[in-house]
Amino acid sequence: MERRQGWVREYLVEEGQQALPFVRSAKLGEEPERIAGEMRGVLGLELAWASELPTWSEALKELQRRMETAWILVVVNGIVGNNTRRKLDPEEFRGFVLVDEYAPLVFVNGADAKAAQMFTLAHELAHLWFGTSAAFDLRELEPADDDTERACNRVAAEFLVPARELKESWSSLTQNSDLFQVLARRFKVSELVAARRALDLALIGRSAFLDFYRSYLLDERRKASKASSGGDFYANQNYRIGRRFAETVVRATREGKLLYRDAYQLTGLYGSTFDRYAESLSFRGLLERPY
């Protein structure tokens, strides 16, 4: 990952691109509401952006797309390379972030439950604002005993489920037996994120959250184990490699600024497989950075 990021940084600097101003723009102790609002602004998202999407899964895809539009390299992969027999264990880590002013990179463990991926993505996004690279091993959606990790958790929670909106909805929804499902549908996040936010705001107790968390995650992983590992190979590469990174590699190759041999090594795709994947990409506005 460091090699990919380093190559993109060098390429963008050579092309005369500017550094991304939001990286390292926040300080510990600032209000989570302000930072979360700035994150939405950079990504071009409204406060209730997810409510316009049909499902929280679509919200996750949209968040990834917006991050890549802002020139954050996003990689989602649950296996080692292309080896489907070697899965990355979510119990070991859920993701990591490599901070850089030109080519910040966020990695999310695709073997984790989809609900946990959403929180990981928002958490790592917050890390870019604070400017700290870190691995993310969130046990029961609780951060490590570290000031930066706690701050990232608070910002991620506010980014996904704004406190004001949740508090305004809470009293009218507490009679529902499927409370977290209702909240999930309203905010277009997972039930897990809704429960986590309720805990953050002291709307539920820790024991109630942990009971829900464990049963929910077990159910998600059962579903994941039954799901097909197939799908469109080339579409899957947009997650495994990262679409923004892949577009930059292909553009540089076609411009003669990168040897095909090096492009193959950077992407893990070779020969005709690389060529077909390159043809599947769109290059409109590739280097039109928003800053």
**Three-state helix/strand/coil letters over 47-63:** CCHHHHCCCHHHHHHHH
How many independent structural domains does the chain possess?
A: 2
Lowest mean pLDDT among 43-47, 69-73, 153-157, 274-278: 274-278
Q: Which two tokens stand for residue 59?
A: 């919200």
CB 249 within 8 A of CB 258: yes
* pLDDT tens profile 242-273: 888 888 888 888 888 888 888 888 888 888 88
> Are 246 and 222 members of one domain?
no
Amino acid found at 12: L
Same domain membership, residue 270 and residue 201: no
Asked whether 50 and 66 are in contact (CB, 8 A), the reply is: no
For residues 29 and 108, membership in a common domain is answered with yes
Contact between residue 274 and residue 2 where contact means Cβ atoms under 8 Å apart: no
* Structure confidence by residue, pLDDT tens digits, 49-98: 887 888 767 888 899 999 999 999 998 876 555 545 556 666 666 778 89
Enclosing domain of residue 129? 2-226
Do 239 and 76 meet the contact criterion of CB atoms below 8 Å apart? yes
Residue 288 lies in a domain: no
Q: Are 275 and 174 members of one domain? A: no
| 186 pLDDT more than 90 | no
Q: Is residue 232 part of a domain?
A: no
Buried b (16+ CB within 10 A) or exposed e, 187-223: bbbbbbbbbbbbbbeebbeeeebeebbeebbeebeee
- How far, in Å, CA of 162 to CA of 166, rounded? 6
- In contact, 103 and 67? CB cutoff 8 Å: no
Q: What is the pLDDT of residue 26?
A: 96
Measured distance CA(107)–CA(121) in Å, rounded: 8
